[in-house]
Amino acid sequence: MEETSKLGKFTAINEIARRRGFFWNSYEIYGGAGGFVAYGPLGTRLKQNIENKLRDIFVKQVGILEMESSVITPGKVFEASGHVANFKEPMVECIKCNKRFRADHLLEEHAKISSATAEKMSLDEIKFAIDENGIRCPDCGGNFNPPQQFLTMFVTTIGPYAGATGYGRPEAAQGIFVEFNRLFAVAREKLPFGVIQIGHALRNEISPRQGLIRLREFTICDLEFFFDPEKPCCHLLKDVENEVLPILLGETRLKNSEETIKVTVHEALDRKIVRSEWQAFFMAMAKRLLVEIGVPEEKQRFIEKLPWEKAHYSSQSFDQEVLLDRYGWTEVSGHAYRTDYDLSSHMKASGADMRVFKEYDTPVETEQVIVKPLMAKLGPVFKKESAKVGELISKVDPQIIRVAFEKHGYYMAGNYKILPEHVEICSQKIVERGKRFIPHVVEPSFGSDRLFYVALEYAYSIKDDRVVMKFPPCIAPTQIGVYPLMSKDGLDTKALELQKRLTREGFTVEYDETGSIGRRYARADEAGIPLGITVDYDTLRDETVTIRDRDSWRQVRSPIKDLPQLMHLYFQGKINFENLGKLV
């Protein structure tokens, strides 16, 4: 069964996903709605476990702060961030049937123009390519109207006034940037620090496809890491410097090659393949995360984005990709060096000071020329207006006044003629304790739904013609199954007690008494439950149970009283299945 055809494996996963309640297309009773999925009970837990694994790595271990803000966002935010201007895709409409398509997708499918190339084409170039390749409406064969840009944000109105435009956020990052000042205060005003937000996001795709890979509503995990660009060193680099990153360089891609180089984090930085230490650090952590959710490192790579592929805010970008059976290499996380683009934009648009203060090691002394209005001299000349004139003078760059005096012998402050005797020009010593600057940002950004799909595909395996979902125990949606051998003679009561007890210990435990024990094991394997505990007649006599391993189908026997402790150690990854008891 290892040679399951590509369509077969994809179809099989989707069939299991629907039948067992991992996920399915939403709103089927209303004919479906492209780009929306529903996660069933198993899927919801799997997705949560993956998100919690991400939290575990970044929030608990690295110390990143977590925040939560709204999906609906006032228009100003995405105007300032550049999304209203840039978050668009080229679209064509069929003249005949009025159906609309993403122009770049048509070029990819019908003119073999790579997405990398299509992304840098202007609307005119797209029109030319469509005409040249004779691309017509895939649905009715009609011709297309000229391509236009379509804003792929959901638009709405906030409150009862027509003018108050709101957008569904296409990323959680802006929710962090606009709250930077408060978050920085909470971080006790120390750099570097990072903030993560995990939440729903929206992209109003023109024609969504590819199931979980391209959704209109999805869960994004945006991590914004703020640091002083003059102190770009990552103090945690030691932990990852020997981690190997498989990288497909931009220059290699330009040669139409897909050859990756394998470099350690250390080398990647030394050779300036990755420009920021923090970016390299997060790429290494991202690789580890994927390994933990079941993707071996040889099925991962990082591709460097070409200049025209990068988001409008990014200085250097890598995509982390995973090899998928049907979709090929697929992005699961993006790693962008956003510099100070976002904070600067919001600072400019809002007028709020978003700079942070940095103290110099030793204060810097500078001389500053100042112009002091002499009120005693101004009074007799300007009478009632002398205060106003004085104020005008103080607002002008002293240098301008000095030059005017030298050139003309006077300076015109508005309509008021100021003579040298009206003011005193002197210099003053200024001690600067430090300076204000805008932090730089490195951003790893994960798509939760893609991580979910990847985990599903890499868990999928066939053993003796049966599906076994081999989720790593740390993300398995159900941890333990409890089964009475027969649902009578007190075996069921005993098993239910055990299920309750293990649930109280914090485990996710399923009780199943329906059908033969073989059928129940098969059902459990398909749901990816790592351990199955069977209560049999011996249990009533000696208080021991059988524990079955999902992957090897081997069984061990253990006393009930040891189970809580054993289960904790097993799911913390401290012991293996073999350590759970005596092999049967």
Residues 27-56 that bind a copy of itself (CB under 8 A): 27-30, 33-45, 47
Point out which span in 192-200, 225-233, 290-298, 530-538 binds a copy of itself (CB under 8 A).
Answer: 192-200
- Least Å distance, CB 335 to a copy of itself, is 23
Answer for the pair 378, 389: CB distance below 8 angstroms, yes or no: yes
Q: How far apart are CA 91 and CA 101, in angstroms?
A: 6
User: Does position 91 bind a copy of itself by CB under 8 A?
Assistant: yes
DSSP per position, 390-448: HHHHHHS-HHHHHHHHHHHSSEEETTEEE-GGGEEEEEEEEEEEEEEEPPEEEEEEEEH
Interactions with a copy of itself, residue window 529-568 (CB under 8 A) = none
Using rule CB under 8 A, residue 70 touches a copy of itself? yes
Q: Which residue has the tokens 């300007």?
A: 382
Is residue 100 helix, strand or coil? strand
Q: How near is the Cβ of 321 to a copy of itself at its closest, in Å? A: 25
* Minimum distance from residue 258 beta carbon to a copy of itself (Å): 33
Minimum distance from residue 203 beta carbon to a copy of itself (Å): 11
Residues 352, 364, 370, 426: which binds a copy of itself (CB under 8 A)?
Answer: 352
Listing DSSP states for 308-366 in one string gives GGS-TT-SEEEEEEEEETTTEEEEEEEEEEEETHHHHHHHHHH-----EEEEEEEEEEE
- Binding characters for a copy of itself, 354-383, by CB under 8 A (x = yes): x-----------------------------
Residues in the chain: 584
End-to-end Cα spacing for the chain: 28
Tokens at 549, concatenated: 């391993």
In the complex, least distance from residue 41 CB atom to a copy of itself, rounded to whole angstroms: 4
Supply the minimum distance, in Å, between the C-beta of residue 367 and a copy of itself.
35
Least distance CB 487 / a copy of itself (angstroms): 15
Prior bond of 296 cis (ω within 30°): no
CB of 341 to a copy of itself, least distance (A): 16
Give the CB-side neighbour count of residue 505, counting CA atoms within 13 A: 20
Q: How far is the CB of 78 from a copy of itself (least distance, A)?
A: 11
SS3 letters across 111-158: HCCCHHHHHCCCHHHHHHHHHHCCCCCCCCCCCECCCEEEECCCEEEC
Smallest separation, CB 27 to a copy of itself (Å): 6
Stretch that binds a copy of itself, among 64-72, 326-334, 484-492, 576-584 (CB under 8 A): 64-72
Angle at which helix 448-459 crosses helix 41-55, to 10 degrees, equals 110
Q: What are the DSSP calls for 501-560, one per residue? A: HHHHTT--EEE--SS-HHHHHHHHHHHT-SEEEEE-HHHHHHSEEEEEETTT--EEEEEG
Residue 123 engages a copy of itself in binding (rule: CB under 8 A): no
Q: Choose which of 1, 97, 140, 155 interacts with a copy of itself (CB under 8 A).
A: 155
Question: Which range, of 62-70, 231-239, 269-277, 551-559, touches a copy of itself by CB under 8 A?
Answer: 62-70
Segment near a copy of itself (CB under 8 A); pick from 4-12, 229-237, 345-353, 459-467: 345-353
Among 96, 100, 326, 372, the residue binding a copy of itself under the rule CB under 8 A is 100
Residue 159 interacts with a copy of itself (CB under 8 A): yes or no? yes
Nearest CB to a copy of itself, comparing residues 263 and 475: 475
The token duo for 307 is 């200049």
Binding piece for a copy of itself, criterion CB under 8 A, among 272-280, 407-415, 454-462, 502-510: 502-510
What is residue 279's DSSP assignment? H
- Encode burial over 517-526: b for 16+ CB neighbours within 10 A, e otherwise: beebbbbbbb
Residue among 12, 65, 111, 396 that touches a copy of itself (CB under 8 A): 65
Tokens of 275: 């420009």
| Count of residues near a copy of itself by CB under 8 A | 81
Q: Is residue 199 involved in binding a copy of itself (CB under 8 A)?
A: yes
**Can you tell me which of 5, 11, 115, 156 binds a copy of itself, judged by CB under 8 A?**
156
Chain positions 506 to 525 lying near a copy of itself, rule: CB under 8 A, are 506, 508, 514
Pairwise CA distance, residues 224 & 211, whole Å: 28
Both tokens assigned to 143: 């011709």
Q: 14, 49, 73, 279: which one contacts a copy of itself (CB under 8 A)?
A: 73
